[in-house]
Amino acid sequence: MKKLADYIPDLSMCVRCGTCRSTCPTLITLGRETASARGKLSLIDAYIRGEIELSDTFVKHISECLLCGACQQSCPNSIPVPEIIMAARAEVINDRGLPLITSAIMKGLREPDGFVGKTLKLASFAQRVIFKDASHAGGMQSRLPLPYITDERLVPPLAKRFFMDIVENVIPAQAGIQTDGLILDSCFRRNDNGLEASSGEKTTKVGFFAGCLINYVMPDIGLASLKVLEKAGAVVIVPRGQTCCGMPAISMGDFEDAKALALKNLEVFEKHNFDFITTSCATCTDGLKNKFRKLLDDEGPEMKRRVDDLCSKVRDITDLLVNELKLPAAMSDLKNSTGGCVVTYHDPCHLRRGLGIKDEPRELIEIAGFDIKEMKHPCRCCGLGGSFSITNYDLSSEINRLKAEDIKGTGAEIAATACPGCMVQLRDGLHKLNAKVEVKHIVELLADRIS
């Protein structure tokens, strides 16, 4: 990863025109220049020039960024603001060290069967003690105010069974797995590499990367993904030993742990000689496809070759389904629509700006039989920003409120998106507005359609 000082040429490209003010969600919400990209770049510039220190105020302003990339997209000079912010956060970590808890979690994630996995499994049993059910809204709420989690926040429960465990424990060659109402009709078999779904004359070999939210919280999205990929004619493998994509660490500026996670995932996935590697999490896709290269860019030519090979295969599931597996054609037999049920689509930042994908998700929603009603600002960030929503919950909630009101304003029955992180956030925001809007992943809409 580049160091903060490496961005001096980029910083000099900021002429302080103010264009970023028109798109920055934190600026729009806080209404202060310090929240804009222009303000933050000015602070970073002043720090590099030695005018200010890495003070608490500096750290606070640098933390008030979702890394959504809206500023970079609107910037006439395409300044890579999110990267610069991450590098500034890394500078702070170098200076102050990583908070102990963060450090422990990140190190734990390197070994998914290690203590983090075990702790989460325990928490999966114990969560009902602290949290009360709010499943009507797709989550639960704390019975008491907790550090970082207020009692009004709707949080997703940990899954009863984690995705990787579900796919690990499939009986070989069993036709039909039932998990929480979702049935996989195809023939799955387990081999040494993990779960494999295969039938017929399939030739496209796809590796599925689950990611933390799908694994620990929303395994149904993972299972729906497998089902849809299989319908689209792919041989799907969920490699064992995969772990966190590293994006939470990167966004905090913890490049060292992110690098360790990247190396682990690289080893796990490159063994299979996949045609494609896919995820149903926009953030993970952006992490695997774009951030890996940057994390491992100073490891020599051999590593560069391995990373390039891996990254070139990574595709978001919406992109893969439409452009490679031609799902629309495979689903042409399902013509009848769902009877005018209206869906509005939220563009995840990592998908729209990180990967430039905007048409494929919409095409898939239509294929699933729904009418799309666009919201006013479909690609404005939902306000989650990974750990941002924990450290800056009030700001995150306010940004989320704007998004939820935008969704509510469409009158849609379903808000669809392609990122489990956004889903967690949208459910919380819509719940606060008392809006009767269901939040679904596109693959869930497709899987329902296939059933």
Partner 1 sequence: MLSESVIRSLQGIAGIDNVLTSKEDRLCYAYDATNQIFLPDAVVFPSNVEDVSKVLKLANTERFYVTPRGAGTGLSGGSIPVSGGVVLSLERMRRILSIDKKNLIAVVEPGVVNFELQMELGRAGLFFPPEPTSLRYCTIGGNIAECAGGPRSVKYGVTRDYVTGLEVVLPTGEIMETGTQTVKGVTGYDLTRLIVGSEGTLGIVTKATLRLLPFPKAVNTILAIFNDECAAGNAAAEIMISGVKPSAVEFMDMTSVKCTRESERFDFQVDSGALLLIELDGERESLDRRSGVVRDICLREGAADVRMLPSKKEVKDIWWLRRAISPSLVKIRPDKIVNDVVVPLSGVSDFLQAVRKVEKEKGIIMACFGHAGEGNIHVNILLDKNNAEEAGKAKEVVDYIINMTIGLGGTISGEHGIGMTKRTFAGMELHPVAYEVMKKIKGVLDPNGILNPGKIF
Name the site residues for partner 1 (rule: CB under 8 A): 12-13, 15-22, 31-34, 36, 38-39, 42-43, 46, 51-52, 55, 57-58, 61, 75-78
Our CB check for partner 1 shows the closer of 14 and 249 to be 14
- Nearest approach, Cβ of residue 77 and partner 1 (Å): 6
Q: In this structure, what token pair is assigned to residue 389?
A: 């929503």
Q: Would you say 13 or 334 has its CB closer to partner 1?
A: 13
Backbone angles phi, psi at 31, to 5 degrees: 65, 30
> What's the min distance (Å) between Cβ of 424 and partner 1?
29
Q: What minimum distance in Å lies between the beta carbon of 171 and partner 1? A: 53
Q: CA–CA separation, 14 vs 41, rounded Å?
A: 8
| 236 touches 187 (CB < 8 A) | no
Per DSSP, 343 falls in state E
Which is nearer to partner 1, 31 or 339 (by Cβ)?
A: 31
Least distance CB 98 / partner 1 (angstroms) = 23
Nearer to partner 1, 307 or 399 (CB): 399
CA dist., res. 239 & res. 241, Å (int): 7
Whether residue 230 contacts residue 257, with contact meaning beta carbons closer than 8 Å, is answered with no
| Identity of the residue, 373 or 432, whose beta carbon is nearer to partner 1 in the bound complex | 373
Least distance in Å: CB of 60 to partner 1? Answer: 9
Write the burial class of residue 428 (CB in 10 Å: 0-12 exposed, 13-18 middle, 19+ buried).
buried
Q: How far is the CB of 75 from partner 1 (least distance, A)?
A: 8
Nearest Cα to Cα of residue 266 among 249, 245, 235: 245
- Least distance to partner 1 from the beta carbon of 22, Å? 4
In 3D space, the residue among 342, 346, 364, 362 whose CA is nearest the CA of residue 412 turns out to be 342
Nearer to partner 1, 28 or 447 (CB): 28
Please identify, using beta-carbon distances, which residue of 83 and 316 lies nearer to partner 1.
Answer: 83
- How far apart (Å, rounded) are the C-alpha atoms in residues 16 and 37? 9
Q: Which of 419, 418, 415 is nearest to 429 (CA)?
A: 415
Lookup result for tokens 């990367």: 209
